[in-house]
């Protein structure tokens, strides 16, 4: 009797970034050489779309841990008030029924419809996020991704040099949302930080603009001017040619590089369809030396 062996395959989905990874089960311990292939593909393609994964929270956490420490979420509406390693993106309440649109958790999650990089308001910003489908709507509810690395590469050299000298202030609170429900003063203060406007991937030296909704001022500029420039840079990075829109299928899990991509949720009929995705967030290291600690693979990667 022969057994059908699947092979890990990496296929590019967009001219500039994003690859689909098939032929591997991530819910069981993954061989080190496959982890190395995944890590190399992640650094190169910035977004990995894994298909046909049957993650539960435990297996999702276990797989995510291969890439570093996981961020710990404080109890807030975005994770159903559960502190821990899982953030829940959903329009459902704990009972599995759809929440009314004016529910605080629903209002809070509207923030995700602005382009952002996860946890950029933390002193050590996130390296990666892994969002795995639990329930997906048949239409709408795509997650869009933009390559801030590809956008940066297209800037003229003088502009790059100018931007590299600047620093942005990132805040957890959203400037266009008048109410900042869910965060006390202490959390707001703790989550106001500065980061250089360009972020480097230490593995391959590739640079990217580090912007998005949390980046709200430029230290070296008057607040309004800085804000205007940040808005322009986010708009520049999210032009159609730099964007990939992910339509969720059952079994999908998407891992994105928060150092060089922005993402946002898109609307769907929240009164008609259910949507539930669970996210783990892999913390960065200070400075960006993530994976200095990853043991060398036993086999050369392709
Ligand atoms: C996230 C996020 C967008 C979405 O999980 O960090 O922003 O489409 N999600 O749910
Ligand atoms: Mn996010």
- Residue ranges covered by each domain of the chain: 10-288
Under 8 Å between Cβ of 284 and 125: yes
Class of the domain covering 10-288: alpha beta
Nearest ligand 1 atom to the CA of 265 is: 8
Ligand 1 pocket test target in 143, 214, 278 with most atoms within 8 Å of CB: 143
pLDDT tens track of the chain, all 302 residues? 555 567 999 999 999 999 999 999 999 999 999 999 999 999 999 999 999 999 999 999 999 999 999 999 877 766 767 789 999 999 999 899 999 999 988 988 899 999 999 999 998 999 999 999 999 999 999 999 999 999 999 999 999 999 999 999 999 876 655 455 566 676 666 678 999 999 999 999 999 999 999 999 999 999 999 999 999 999 999 999 999 999 999 999 999 999 999 999 999 999 999 999 999 999 987 654 334 444 333 333 32
- Whole-number Å distance, alpha carbon 125 to ligand 2 midpoint, is 12
Nearest ligand 1 atom to the CA of 143 is: 8
Ligand 1 near 112 CB (within 6 A): yes
Q: Which residue has the tokens 């891992």?
A: 255
| Listed residue (261, 255, 221, 219) closest to 238, CA to CA | 261
Ligand 1 near 143 CB (within 6 A): yes
Ligand 1 near 234 CB (within 6 A): no
Q: What CA–CA distances, in Å, run from 259 to 1, 180, 204, 236?
A: 47, 25, 12, 17
Q: CA–CA separation, 277 vs 167, rounded Å? A: 33
């Amino acid at each position: 009797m022969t057994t059908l062996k699947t092979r890990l395959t990496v296929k590019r989905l967009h001219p500039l970034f994003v690859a689909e990874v098939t032929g591997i089960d991530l819910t069981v311990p993954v061989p080190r050489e496959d982890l190395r292939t995944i890590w190399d593909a992640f650094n190169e393609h910035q977004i990995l779309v894994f298909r046909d994964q049957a993650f539960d929270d435990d297996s999702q956490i276990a797989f995510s841990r291969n890439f570093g420490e996981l961020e710990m979420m404080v109890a807030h509406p975005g994770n159903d008030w559960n502190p821990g390693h899982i953030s829940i993106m959903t329009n459902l309440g704990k009972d599995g029924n759809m929440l009314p649109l004016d529910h605080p958790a629903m209002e809070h999650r509207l923030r995700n419809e602005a382009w952002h990089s996860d946890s950029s308001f933390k002193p050590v910003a996130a390296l990666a996020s892994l969002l795995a489908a639990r329930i997906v709507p048949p239409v709408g509810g795509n997650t869009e991704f933009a390559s801030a690395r590809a956008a940066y590469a297209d800037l003229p050299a003088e502009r790059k040099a100018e931007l590299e000298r600047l620093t942005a202030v990132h805040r957890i609170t959203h400037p266009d949302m008048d109410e900042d429900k869910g965060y006390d003063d202490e959390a707001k203060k703790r989550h106001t930080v500065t980061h250089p406007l360009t972020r480097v991937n230490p593995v391959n030296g590739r640079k990217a603009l580090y912007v998005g909704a949390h980046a709200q001022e430029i230290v070296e500029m008057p607040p309004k001017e800085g804000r205007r420039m940040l808005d322009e840079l986010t708009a520049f990075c999210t032009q159609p040619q730099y964007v990939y829109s992910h339509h969720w299928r059952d079994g999908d899990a998407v891992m994105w590089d928060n150092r060089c991509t922005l993402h946002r949720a898109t609307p769907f009929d929240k009164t008609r369809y259910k949507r539930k995705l669970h996210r783990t967030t892999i913390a960065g290291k200070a400075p960006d030396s993530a994976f200095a600690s990853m043991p060398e693979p036993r086999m050369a990667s392709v």
